[in-house]
Every structure is written in C-alpha cells, then in structure tokens.
Amino acid sequence: MRKIFVISLLMVLVLSVLSGCWNQKELTDLAFVMAMGFDKGENKKFEVSFQIVNPGNVSSGQNGAGQGLPIAVYKSAGNTLTEAARNATKMISRRLYYSHTNLIAISEEVARDGILDVMDALDRDPEFRTTTQIVVARHSTAEELVSALTNLDKLPVNKITKELKTTESMLGENTRVNIDDFLAGLVSNGKEPVVNGYIVKGNKEQIGRADDLQKTKTETFLEANGLAVFKNGKLTGWFEHEKARGVVYVLDKVQSTDINIPWNGKKHAITMAPIRTKTKVSVHFKNGKPIINIAIEDEGFISEANTDVDLTDPKVIEKIDKLVEKEIKQQVMESIKDAQKIKSDIFGFGERVHRANPKLWKKLKGNWDNQFAELKVNVKVDSYVRREGIRTNPFWFNMNK
C-alpha cells in the first residue's frame, strides 16, 4: 500500500512540471512557402517573392481538387531577407512557414552583384532546410520564375525540382545544387560553386494566368538552361550544352547522356548512351608545380545507328569507342579551358592540391586564380560499348547488301 502511495505521489509531482505543446501552430494559421525569388529592388536592396501553396486547390480527395489556382505569390521589399519576410506580413494573414520550401530562385542581376547577403539567413534559420535547391533565373526575373504555372505538376516548384533530377540523370548538363552545396563551394579552399540556370520561355504576359493551363501547348513554360559559374559569391559566366556536360563529367556527376559521333562522312550518325560513368581526379607535382590528371571510364550502349555500320565487327566497335573517347575528352577540355579563362576553379582542383601537398598550397592559395589559369590538365578517357540494343546491325546495313 505504501508503495502505491509513493508512486502516485511521484506521478502527481511529475505532472506539475510537464509542459504542453508550447510552440503548437495550427495549420490554418500557417502560410507554407514552397519557393522564394530574389530580385534587385528599387528603394530597397531586395524584392523577395514568396510562392505560397493553397492547400485546398492542390489536395485531390474523392471530390477532386479545388477550382482555384494552386499557388499565390506575394512580393515584399527589404534590405535583408528578414526585413522583407516581416514586411510581407502586411499582405499575408498567416505566418510564413519555411519547412516545406524546396526552391530558391535568384535573378541574374542579383547573382552578378553577389548573393552572400542572402545565404546567411537561409543557412541560419532553423525552419529552413539547407537541402533546398538553388537556381539562377536567366533572362527573366525571379518573380516570373516563381509565379509561372505548370499543367503537368500541380505545384510549379515540383516541376522544377523533378525536372532537375530528370535532366541530371538523363542529359548530364545539369546537377542539383542545394544551399549546403553552394556554401561548401563558397568557403572551400580551392573550389568555386556552380548553380543551375532556369528560364521562362514563351509569352511572359501569360505567366500566372489560369487560362494558359487549359491549352495542350501552353504559351509559357519553365526550362533548365545552363550552369551558372560563380566566383567569390558573384555570377561570372555561363556554361551551356556540351561545355556544361564537360563540367558535370569532371565533377563525377554524369549518370547518363548522349554522345554523338560521325560515321561514313555523316555527322551525328551514331549515338552512344552511357550507363556507367566514373571520373577520378588526381594531382602530381613536377618541378614544384601541380599537374592535374583526369581519368574517365565510360560504359554504354548504342542507342542509335543511322548509317551503314557493321556492329558485329569488333574492330568497328573499337573504332566507335575511340571516337566516343575523343568526343568526351574534347567536351571536358573545352570546359576546363573556359573556366581557366574566367579564373574560376569550379572543379575543385585547388582542393586536390591542398590535400596532396598542404605545404605547397600555403604558397599557392594567395594567387590560386592565376595558378589555376595556367594549370596543366591531362584528360584520359576510356569508353566501352557494352551492348547494341535489341538489334545488332541497323537496317541501313541490310539495305546496302
């Protein structure tokens, strides 16, 4: 009996010090920010656009989704992100909530001036996830980018994040970059960050209009476009198409792509699609100077053969391998040369030198921009065709027999 009394007394004492949900927030009191856009302001430093989800028009229950638009976009100005976010409360009846923010869009104008004043707030706020992806709005404002509607994905931000994942895995000209990735490149010794570019194509007057979604071919759409190259936190140049792919190759982030080679005097006659790619970057030193060695191993299959070619002949396959190696090497070397022209080490060669020879790095890091511009880089590519698809020789081969 005494034991039961003691236990009961302890439970009563414990209950007195327990607290409830002190920071409880009702869903109806929150505005879920899915994306944010940063543009240059007129009277203030920034104009910040907040893409806020309208849950009632997105959820698809038994009765279907609502009839309104899935998002609402509000814009406010401020000399800091904190000031702009708090100024937005004048227009929004709910508290801005950032735990579901998946995208940060920065205008090209802001990016060229530098985005260092934006990054600290994004990295410091406990509600904000540093896995949020960053893009640079190219040839358009960040407001236009976060205001555009899409007809395949209900939430425009999902279209962008999914599209980046798809193009990274299939095309190899983009690689997803989040806040953590950008900051890692920013503070690193011997590496500069890159960010995906995004554009709004078509008739910009149709941005945010619901009637545009009623068409099978919308007048405006969003498209991934190039890699933005940064230096000291400022946009300094763009890499596109094959040159962007060369960057992704060196960063060892190519999952698949398409490599076109000539045959029988015909351009783009044969296409090889990699299925496995591995890049190794090493450094050795000669006469006190670093030399970078890049080794790329590429395995793939013939996805197209639009010419008369005997794919059963091992010598032909060997020749195709050599041509693919030549094409990949050319793309990589052009990317490296262009990066050296603008003196932005987006490949992290300086990091390699630092790890391999810390003592030498102390002498080089103060002038690494110029050292990088003159750096000797060797590229070796080994490519192998592993299969030819569901048929061996193309119909072109039989037509000429």
Domain borders along the chain are: 27-239, 253-401
pLDDT of 62 over the 50 cut: no
Tokens matching residue 256: 């698949």
Q: What CA–CA distance (Å, rounded) separates 111 from 132?
A: 17
Percent of the chain with pLDDT over 90: 40
pLDDT digits (tens, 9 = 90+) for 246-277: 999 999 999 889 999 998 888 988 899 999 99
Q: What is the radius of gyration, based on Cα positions, of the chain?
A: 27
Whether this prediction's pTM lies above 0.95 is answered by no
Q: Which one is predicted more confidently, 320 or 390?
A: 320
Q: What CA–CA distance (Å, rounded) separates 311 from 308?
A: 9
pLDDT digits (tens, 9 = 90+) for 162-192: 888 888 888 888 888 998 999 888 888 888 9
**Least confident piece of the model among 23-27, 326-330, 356-360:** 23-27
Q: What CA–CA distance (Å, rounded) separates 281 from 177?
A: 21
Q: Is 136 in contact with 106 (CB distance < 8 Å)? A: yes
Q: What CA–CA distance (Å, rounded) separates 254 from 123?
A: 28
Predicted local distance difference test score (pLDDT) of residue 111: 92
User: Which H, E and C letters describe the chain, residue by residue?
Assistant: CHHHHHHHHHHHHHHHHCCCCCCCCCHHHEEEEEEEEEEECCCCCEEEEEEEECHHHCCCCCCCCCCCCCEEEEEEEECCHHHHHHHHHHCCCCEEECCCCCEEEEEHHHHHHCCHHHHHHHHHCCCCCCCCEEEEECCCCHHHHHHCCCCCCCCHHHHHHHHHHHHHHHCCCCCCCEHHHHHHHHHCCCCCCEEEEEEEEECHHHCCCHHHHHCCCCCEEEEEEEEEEEECCEEEEEECHHHHHHHHHHCCCCCCCCEEEEECCEEEEEEEEEEEEEEEEEEEEECCEEEEEEEEEEEEEEEEECCCCCCCCHHHHHHHHHHHHHHHHHHHHHHHHHHHHCCCCCCCHHHHHHHHCHHHHHHHHHHHHHHHHCCEEEEEEEEEEEECCCCCCCHHHHHCC
Q: Is 100 in contact with 33 (CB distance < 8 Å)? A: yes
Can you name the residues that pair with 96 across neighbouring β-strands? Answer: 31
pLDDT digits (tens, 9 = 90+) for 3-46: 666 666 667 666 555 555 555 566 667 888 999 999 998 888 88
Residue (of 84, 147, 94) closest to 121 by Cα position: 84
CA dihedral 148, 150, 156, 161 (to 10 degrees): -120
**Alpha carbons within 13 A on the beta-carbon side of 140:** 28
Predicted local distance difference test score (pLDDT) of residue 14: 60
Predicted local distance difference test score (pLDDT) of residue 378: 95
Predicted local distance difference test score (pLDDT) of residue 28: 67
| Residue 64 binned pLDDT confidence (cut-offs 50, 70, 90) | very low
Q: 30-40 and 95-97 as β-strands: parallel, antiparallel, unpaired?
A: parallel
Q: What CA–CA distance (Å, rounded) separates 237 from 235?
A: 6
| Residue 295 binned pLDDT confidence (cut-offs 50, 70, 90) | very high
Predicted local distance difference test score (pLDDT) of residue 109: 93
CATH top-level class of 253-401: alpha beta
Q: What CA–CA distance (Å, rounded) separates 200 from 105?
A: 12
Predicted local distance difference test score (pLDDT) of residue 3: 65
pLDDT digits (tens, 9 = 90+) for 190-242: 889 999 999 988 887 778 777 777 777 887 888 888 999 999 889 999 999 99
At which residue do the structure tokens 């003159």 appear? 374
Q: 194-202 and 220-231 as β-strands: parallel, antiparallel, unpaired?
A: antiparallel
Tokens matching residue 178: 């989040």
Q: Print burial letters for 185-215: b (CB count within 10 Å at least 16), e (below 16).
A: bbeeebbbbbbbbbbbebebebbbbeebeee
Average pLDDT over residues 48-69: 69
| Residue 396 binned pLDDT confidence (cut-offs 50, 70, 90) | low
Q: Is 27 in contact with 9 (CB distance < 8 Å)? A: no
pLDDT of 368 over the 80 cut: yes
Predicted local distance difference test score (pLDDT) of residue 63: 41
Predicted local distance difference test score (pLDDT) of residue 150: 82
Predicted local distance difference test score (pLDDT) of residue 38: 94
Predicted local distance difference test score (pLDDT) of residue 61: 45
Predicted local distance difference test score (pLDDT) of residue 194: 93
Q: What is the mean pLDDT of the chain?
A: 85
Q: Is 343 in contact with 370 (CB distance < 8 Å)? A: yes
Q: What CA–CA distance (Å, rounded) separates 349 from 61?
A: 52
| Residue 57 binned pLDDT confidence (cut-offs 50, 70, 90) | low
Q: Terminus-to-terminus CA distance in the chain, angstroms?
A: 102
Predicted local distance difference test score (pLDDT) of residue 399: 64
Angle 119-123-127 (CA atoms, 0-180°, nearest 5)? Answer: 130
| Residue 349 binned pLDDT confidence (cut-offs 50, 70, 90) | very high
